[in-house]
Amino acid sequence: MSTPEASVMNPSAMPTPDNAAPAAKPVSKWAIHRRMYDWVLSFAHRKHSTAALFGLSFAESSFFPIPPDVLQIALTLERRDRAFFYATVSTVASVLGGMLGYLIGFAFWHAVSGFFFSYVFKEEVFTKVQGLYQQYDFWCVFIAAFTPIPYKVFTIAGGVFEIGFPMFVLASIVGRGARFFIVAGLLWKFGEPMKAFIEKYFNLLSFLFAVVLIGAFALLKLLA
C-alpha cells in the first residue's frame, strides 16, 4: 500500500516538462484594444457620459487609441435629439486636445519622444509626416482630422515641425467638425439602421470625400 509520503516522493508524481501546465500566452494587442473599446462603450450608460465623451475626444487627439466616434454613436442612438450637441462636444474637445498635442510637440518633444515612439505611433510614420507637412500643411491636418488617419500623429508633428498654429487650429476645426457632424446628421436622420452602415463604410467614404474636396479646391485654384 502506498503512503502519502511515498506518493510525495514518487518521481512519477512530480511535475515534469512533459506534464507541466502550459505557460500562459501573452495577451495580444488586439485583445487589449478590444478591452479598451468595451471600456469606452461602458460610459454610454453612466451618469457622466457627456463628460466621458469630452475626455475621450480630448485624449484621443494626442495619445488615446480609441476614436471618440465609438461613444458619440452610442450616446446619439440613445438620445437622437441631442445628436448635434454630442457632435459639438466631440469637436470642441478634440480640437482642444489637438492643441495639447501641438504643445507637446512644440515644447516637450525631446523629453517625451521615446514614450510616443514606443507606445503611441512608430518613428517611421512620424518621419513621413514631416515630409508631408513640408508640402501640404493645411491639407495634412484636415485629412488626419477628418479621416481614420491617426490625428494624434499630426497634432504632435505640427508642434515639432512648427507649422502655423492658426492654420493648424482652423484645419482641425474644419476636419473634426465635418467628421463628427456628418456622423451626427446621419444618425439623427436614420437612427439605428445607419449605425451598421457607418461602422462598415465610414472610413472609405471619408477618404473619398477628402479626395473629392481636395480635387475641387485644386480645380478652383487652376481656374482662378
pLDDT in tens, 50-86: 999 999 999 999 888 888 998 999 999 989 999 999 9
- Provide the pLDDT for residue 4: 46
Residue spans of beta strands (DSSP E) within 38-186: none
Whether 191 contacts 77, CB under 8 Å: yes
Average pLDDT on 180-206 reads: 85
Quickly tell me which residue has 469606452 as its cell.
40
* Residue whose C-alpha cell is 515639432: 160
* CA distance from start to end of the chain: 102
Q: What is the mean pLDDT of residues 128-151?
A: 82
Angle between helices 151-160 and 123-133 (to 10 degrees): 60
Q: Note the pTM of the prediction, 2 decimals.
A: 0.75
Side chain identity, residue 56: L
Q: Which pLDDT band holds residue 92 (cuts at 50, 70, 90)?
A: very high
The amino acid at residue 135 is Q
- Burial of residue 209, with CB atoms counted within 10 A of its CB: 0-12 exposed, 13-18 middle, 19 or more buried: middle
The per-residue pLDDT of the chain, averaged, comes to: 80
Q: Is the pLDDT of residue 90 over 90?
A: yes
